[in-house]
Amino acid sequence: MTAADLPVPSPVVSPAPDRERWLAIGFATPAALVLVVLFALPLALLFTASVAGPAGLTLSEYAKLATPHYLGVVWNSLRLALLTTGIAFLIGYPASFALARARGVLRSVMLASLFLPLAASVIVKAFAWTILLRSDGLVNTVLMALGLVDEPIRMIFTETALVVGAVNIFLPFMILPIYAVVAQLDHRLVEAAATLGASPAVAFVRVVMPLTLPGIVAGLALVFSLSVSAYVVPTLLIGERYPTLSTTIAKAFLLARQPGFGAAAGVALLAITLAAVALSARLGRSGGAR
């Protein structure tokens, strides 16, 4: 009896590759169907509706967007997003480092204070700011008690209120992706930079910043795309006097019954967010290549 005559132990119950492939396709099908039927097709229809005129294809709805009034509306959306993203970064980037250093109870408290607002309804938070920023609200009371102002300043329905509310609501989306990267940071690299003679500032700019770039880029892209399309925040905190792309879209469908124009504005908003995402993906890659 030679070795060849011994029964070959059959490979452990792994189904044939072909069967595995069909199984995988079967597993993926329901989710893929949802994506196609409830996401891709509606988007395609939206795009079609934005260029469909009574007599064939037309760009007239987009031409309406290019008028001075609506260009102002687009700028309002961009301005809100840029201010919100910038301020959230200035607070969020340093805060992520402290969060990554925190341990034990302190870390739990800090994480909870990020997650709780994140889990709380946007409407609840925007409502809170309408209470806080009223002329007889807490913020004015504190400012007057500190002697910083003599009489209540008008804050609600101003751009200040809008940006404060937006930063408040979107700040966790800046901190969490940056924190995830900072927490994984290898501190030996910073020490190595110091050993090689880099001052802390140089080590930070040349070592820490590039290493945290993926988190920075993710945070910036997330906060920008969320705030550029924010709807509840401008509706409650500033209202009609600061029309944004989102409030314009909602109005076109819910009040004005101009679905063609609304669709064009929707495609424009989508293009802005996609551009931000694409730009951030590029920046993230070029940083990661180091």
Cβ proximity to another protein: between 159 and 232 the closer is 232
Name the segment binding another protein (CB under 8 A); options: 53-61, 68-76, 154-162, 178-186. Answer: 178-186
- The single residue among 121, 150, 196, 289 that binds another protein, judged by CB under 8 A, is 121
Q: Is 250 in the site for another protein (CB under 8 A)?
A: yes
Q: Is 193 in the site for another protein (CB under 8 A)?
A: no
- The single residue among 180, 198, 213, 283 that binds another protein, judged by CB under 8 A, is 180
Name the segment binding another protein (CB under 8 A); options: 55-63, 68-76, 78-86, 116-124. Answer: 116-124
The answer to whether residues 252 and 259 touch, using CB atoms and an 8 Å cutoff, is yes
Name the segment binding another protein (CB under 8 A); options: 63-71, 124-132, 152-160, 282-290. Answer: 124-132
Name the segment binding another protein (CB under 8 A); options: 29-37, 56-64, 149-157, 282-290. Answer: 29-37
- Of 251-280, binders to another protein (CB under 8 A) are 253-254, 259, 262-263, 266-267, 269-270, 273-274, 277
Q: Is 206 in the site for another protein (CB under 8 A)?
A: no
User: In the complex, what is the shortest distance from the CB of residue 78 to another protein, in angstroms, rounded to a whole number?
Assistant: 14
Q: Is 134 in the site for another protein (CB under 8 A)?
A: yes
User: In the complex, what is the shortest distance from the CB of residue 159 to another protein, in angstroms, rounded to a whole number?
Assistant: 18
Q: Is 189 in the site for another protein (CB under 8 A)?
A: no
